[in-house]
Amino acid sequence: MRIELAALTCVFLADAAAGGGASVIDSGTISGLGARNIGSAAMSGRISALAGYTDTSGKVTLFVGAASGGVWKSTDGGTTFKPVFDEQPVQSIGAIALDPSNPQNVWVGTGESWTRNSVSIGDGVYKSTDAGETWTHAGLPDSERIARIIVDPRSADSVYACVPGRLWSDSPERGSTMNLAMRSESRSPACVQVSPASADL
């Protein structure tokens, strides 16, 4: 379409130069031109989560979550990707986290966190222990959206989730941890951050 528009602009400029006046544009002049998407503004074009690690050989593995397109994995630093979440009942992704002690353990929070006109919802947290090959549902099935996940660096058994919850109503699963120790049904929580000096903060 850019080439077609550029050619059309040249025609108008040449016509104006030849006639010495303003060009008249009617619907017939541009009726044959079609529009097409050339950007990432399509409904599923939003990347909502990213996590990765470099192994001892220097190989970079990436996990990318799309707002309504599932989880994609690259084992070559982002040159190629394959979908690894297609068998799950939801495809809206809000957060991805890797276990710092074992990157084979991948946590995914479903439901994009952007509250917008075309927001997609999820059904909680999923965990993979084989780098995304298989998944198990780990909890928070009614959360609808998860903005962030952090794995406690001291113990992979403790996982923190920022759960904004339902978009248009109070949400019993709204809170900041998997065990809902910091829970508020009527207010969206601030996203969590674990202090490097003390994971209790």
For the stretch 119-155, pLDDT in tens is 788 999 999 999 999 999 999 898 888 999 999 888 8
Q: Are 53 and 39 in contact (CB under 8 A)?
A: no
> How many independent structural domains does the chain possess?
2
Return the number of other C-beta atoms located less than 10 Å from residue 22's C-beta: 9
**85/13 same-domain check:** no
Backbone angles phi, psi at 186, to 5 degrees: -105, -5
Domain span at 64: 47-177
Q: What is the mean pLDDT of residues 192-201?
A: 52
Backbone angles phi, psi at 8, to 5 degrees: -65, -40
**74/107 same-domain check:** yes
**110/78 same-domain check:** yes
- What is the reported pLDDT for 162? 86
Q: What is the mean pLDDT of residues 170-188?
A: 47
Confidence grade of residue 68 (pLDDT, cut at 50, 70, 90): confident
Residue 84 belongs to some domain of the structure: yes
Residue 182 belongs to some domain of the structure: no
Question: Maximum Cα–Cα distance for the chain, whole Å?
Answer: 77
Pick the closest to residue 162 from 141, 183, 136 (CA basis): 183
Average pLDDT, the chain: 77
- What is the reported pLDDT for 171? 65
Backbone angles phi, psi at 48, to 5 degrees: -110, -15
pTM beyond 0.75: the answer is no
Q: What is the mean pLDDT of residues 50-62?
A: 95
